[in-house]
Structure 1
């Protein structure tokens, strides 16, 4: 009689310590602290720090808030990928010594994703997890902000930094931004609704954003960028899971939308269009089981993701008033 050994799961291979991931995350903490301190001092939210400790304290509200959103976003992807047994790296954060101190983070995944349902889980988990953190951060940050009178109404759709406006200045010979001065933060639709409906900001008023509120706004804007349904962006994953190969046509159509928004609303959308079309590309790799029907729960996730995209869409991503 043949005896059999009890079935045992194969031990997972030992993973090397993610040294460079930790180094880049540490560098991103430093660059976002610097950006946060500059914003806090420049916006009058704190006095000029007298020493390094004061400088660090001034940058903490923005840095902590923004990194909480970005970490939630990336760990949403990471956990979903691991649950579906897709090889995924730890997040690679990208520090930069200007602007908000970071260009976000990416996770590298290897191997085919097994099913359409798994693709929705992996694609939608990041934006949804990030929004769960970003929305409370935004509301709390606005409660810390000041609401005051403004001389010029903000542009929520047609901005002064649109390509049409910039080209008009170029060909007219006028000095660009003449008579303009105040820099306006991005204006996601959800941010506008929270300002108007929750905090009662009037037509001749606006929010002078606290560093925490600014981090929340940036978090919503980053969510919108990721949910554009192109290629292997988060929105592209969801679009492919729903539409299959037709998703490429949808992505190309949204490429045209980005160019139109760059022309009429904010030139920064042209930058995202070039990055998405040249580096992310429009195509999407197939999943193993293309014929698998979407579960009811995944259809609800798709609906939530589309709603989140609409609420975070930011035609005027940068502007001066």
Structure 2
């Protein structure tokens, strides 16, 4: 607690007289009313120096009129220390949360290395930007004889990781110039350092050509500020994949511009309050309505708005709120609008129509084993077509996770062209069954999903198709292959018959002479010593796979290759 010194009218006369011509002093219950010459005749920073001198004694001064200064004991103010610490910790956490998914995809590193890269390339740059904002504020406060106070950082777990900081000084601003200078320097420092990180990230991207096949980059999904677009055109590679440090710079530009909005204790709100006084609250109302409207498109705007509303819609007025603002201060105040116009983006993230499409061939496969333990490769091809105006480098992933490899003549797909990619799945399973996977093909703007189904059949001795298990046979297009299925056991089996073609269409499979159980998942009844007939037909050249299996996925497989020739070999 600050010790307050006992003061007398003579002492007040001495202190105020250093800066202003004193006409009269009146004391009433510890409050001093000092009549002075017109304050506007004196330099604006005189009042800041007066406040600084009085604060050392535990007193504070504010203006009542242009000729009257009120001096009272300085009240104790809440420093919100715990809140500020908790908010800073939360901001670090949300920056890691938001940055990790992008950085880990960009570098394709291990868990520990991705965490370290997120810290170095994203979290630290963002905090340097936030720190530069606070350094600008510190310079502005020091220039105006104020004591710097720590801000309230605002986390953003659903968007950029942070929404910046709220200026919540422990002491009042002494003058309009103090409010404008400290707020403007905060915005400008953050804005310029953000742009520097955009440039640094661009150079790092050029120097470290990361061999990643594709990154879900926000570069084509974000609404970019004008200054960001100008820097990106010169320093960011043509494939549009932002280096994480450049992404941190983008976050800094958006945050700096948003904090320039004329609302409450935001930097723009302080400038508005300094220049407009009590009328600044009406500007805040307009800005709040605009932010609420924008939050429909991007909900994170509401996060910062909530904190602004908690602290106050109307920013504080300076202790000297009657003096005229100089031309220098007015120019500084107006320049904040330039930052808003250049850097503010109403919708930081938005969805673009996909700039590519994926076509594919066979997506169903059957593998088989006589020991219920298999390790084999399943290959499929995907054609990626580029409908955009820039080359793309598609990436591939699979879920659930399983090893895959991708090969093609070129990893890049030029505009208005297509590229074939052969995707090989290393299928290793020990239990027969039905397995479903989703291959994700993604670029910097969008992704497409391809469903892959694999039937793992344990070949059985309980029944056979003809005399082979599995059966491999050729047939003629539009001809019908007849495949008898005979029981080799005395047991009664409940079976299912499933078929698919390599083209996915234009084939027909019919089961004849079979006893069926209506409503069962395995409807075909094969009693001991009996058989039924499977008829397979295709109207186009393709391979048709027929699977007969029981509840344990024990069964038989027939592979019928339909060709355009009369030289069909039957076995």
Q: Please tell me the TM-score bracket, short chain as reference.
A: 0.5 to 0.7
Residue 120 of structure 1 pairs with residue 192 of structure 2: no
Q: Is the 8 A contact 1:49 1:58 kept in 2?
A: no
Which residue of 234, 249, 261 corresponds with 2:282? 249
Aligned-residue offset at 1:123:
1.7
Aligned-residue offset at 1:21:
7.6
CA deviation string 1:84-137 (max 9, x = no partner): 233432355567877655554455412321111111012212111111211111
Tell me which residue corresponds to 1:188.
225
Aligned-residue offset at 1:297:
2.9
Q: Equivalents in 2 of 1:311, 1:104: separation in Å?
A: 17
Q: Is the 8 A contact 2:198 2:250 kept in 1?
A: yes
Aligned-residue offset at 1:76:
1.6
Q: Equivalents in 1 of 2:343, 2:155: separation in Å?
A: 24
TM-score using structure 2 length: 0.41
Q: Classify the secondary structure of the residue corresponding to 2:240.
A: strand
Do the aligned partners of residues 187 and 80 (structure 1) sit closer, same or farther apart at CA in structure 2, a change above 3 Å counting?
A: same
Tell me which residue corresponds to 2:360.
none
Q: Is the 8 A contact 1:127 1:227 kept in 2?
A: yes
Tell me which residue corresponds to 2:370.
none
Q: Equivalents in 2 of 1:92, 1:254: separation in Å?
A: 20
Which residue of 273, 285, 298 corresponds with 2:329? 298
Residue 311 of structure 1 pairs with residue 311 of structure 2: no
Q: Which has the higher strand share?
A: 2
Which residue of 214, 223, 233 corresponds with 2:266? 233
CA RMSD of aligned residues (A): 3.7
TM-score using structure 1 length: 0.68
Which residue of 283, 286, 291 corresponds with 1:258? 291
Aligned-residue offset at 1:223:
0.9
Q: Is the 8 A contact 2:134 2:186 kept in 1?
A: yes
Do the aligned partners of residues 95 and 245 (structure 1) sit closer, same or farther apart at CA in structure 2, a change above 3 Å counting?
A: closer
Aligned-residue offset at 1:47:
2.7
Do the aligned partners of residues 302 and 86 (structure 1) sit closer, same or farther apart at CA in structure 2, a change above 3 Å counting?
A: same
Tell me which residue corresponds to 1:135.
195
Provide the aligned length of Structure 1 versus Structure 2: 267
Residue 47 of structure 1 pairs with residue 108 of structure 2: yes
Q: Equivalents in 1 of 2:94, 2:83: separation in Å?
A: 16
More displaced 10-residue stretch of structure 1: 287-296 or 222-231: 287-296
Do the aligned partners of residues 261 and 97 (structure 1) sit closer, same or farther apart at CA in structure 2, a change above 3 Å counting?
A: closer
More displaced 10-residue stretch of structure 1: 58-67 or 98-107: 98-107
Q: Classify the secondary structure of the residue corresponding to 2:330.
A: helix
More displaced 10-residue stretch of structure 1: 124-133 or 106-115: 106-115
Q: Equivalents in 2 of 1:27, 1:255: separation in Å?
A: 24
Q: Which has the higher helix share?
A: 1
Answer 1 or 2: higher relative contact order, Cα 8 Å, separation at least 6.
1
CA deviation string 1:123-159 (max 9, x = no partner): 212111111211111133234458xxxxxxxxxxxxx
Q: Equivalents in 2 of 1:229, 1:250: separation in Å?
A: 7
Q: Which blocks of at least 5 consecutive residues in structure 1 are unaligned? A: 1-8, 147-180
Q: Is the 8 A contact 2:121 2:245 kept in 1?
A: yes
Q: Which blocks of at least 5 consecutive residues in structure 2 are unaligned? A: 1-52, 58-80, 207-215, 353-571
Residue 65 of structure 1 pairs with residue 97 of structure 2: no
